[in-house]
Structure 1
Amino acid sequence: MNTTPTPEQADELLAQAEASQTQARTNDAWPLVTLFFVLSAGLSVGLVAVGLITDNTTQLIILGAGLAWLIPALVVYLIKALSWSRRSTAVLITWLAVIVIGFIGGVMTDSFAASTPVPFFAAGLLWVAAPVFSLLALRR
């Protein structure tokens, strides 16, 4: 009984393994893309509200509404993500760093000087970060 595959069989097995890896990466990426878009949209709307509204209570309410999207987005991601690959984890951590820096920078700048356009720029950064990091997550 010979269990050593022929060169043709070995090529077929390698092709099947590569196809399985590609499919797994793609399946893992879509929940991550959903997370990117939902959180970026919610937080950027909150930042625009911070830039437009002068009443602190209303700012906090709208900001809280934007942050409320964090829970369903994380639930979808944690339930639907099939695997935790190193690549998707690195993309997620980098995206989170960009989001946190942009969000905190926009909110803090508005609290020190209410008439600056920094919250709008930060909202734009968050809005652009979602498709950029989504494309990185979907890259094979």
Structure 2
Amino acid sequence: MDANPTPQQAADLLSQVEANQSQARSGDAWPLVTLLFVLSAGLSVGLMAVGIIDDNTTQLIIAGAGLSWIIPALVVYLVKALSWSRRSLAILLTWLGVIMIAFVAGVMADSFAAGGPIPFIAAGLLWVAAPVFSLLALRR
């Protein structure tokens, strides 16, 4: 190919670059979506247990089991994320903030007033927010 491409060749090259960028972005999106759903499921189950179970030790064990999913989910995401973009990083950091706020609010509310609805509301919030954040991650 010449150093001076024709307008048609330049347009073809630009469309190829855009296709490659789109493919790289979608490669990052699915591991992020998986991460969001795994974290939502683990923490929601932990919050449901906090709301249902009265024994503090059992609550702690089940909530810890829910929190323990953060580490393998992050490891899988970090290994499988093909292209780091600022957008996916912003979604991930925002999501981590949302789940931590919901988890802390649910646990604290249950410690002040056991049997209240706050842990269930926080778990429901995570179940509703996971698809919303996932759609944001998939939107390019």
Task: Name the TM tier (shorter chain).
Answer: over 0.9
Correspondence for 2:28: 28
Size of the aligned set, in residue pairs, is 140
TM-score by length of 2: 0.96
Deviations 1:71-104 (A, max 9, x none): 2101110100112100101111111111111111
1:1-140 alignment to 2 at 5 Å?
2-140=2-140
- Percent of pairs with identical residues: 76
Alpha-carbon distance between aligned partners in 1 of 2:87 and 2:74, rounded to the nearest angstrom: 18
Using the TM superposition, give the Cα deviation of residue 2 of structure 1 relative to its aligned residue in structure 2, in angstroms.
4.6
Alpha-carbon distance between aligned partners in 2 of 1:68 and 1:2, rounded to the nearest angstrom: 56
Alpha-carbon distance between aligned partners in 1 of 2:2 and 2:27, rounded to the nearest angstrom: 36
- Please report the RMSD computed on the Cα atoms of aligned residues, expressed in angstroms: 1.1
Deviations 1:35-77 (A, max 9, x none): 1000110000000000000100000111111111112101110
Q: Which runs of 5+ in 2 are unaligned?
A: none
2:46–2:63 Cα contact (<8 Å) kept: yes
TM-score by length of 1: 0.96
What amino acid is aligned across from residue 67 of structure 2 in structure 1? L
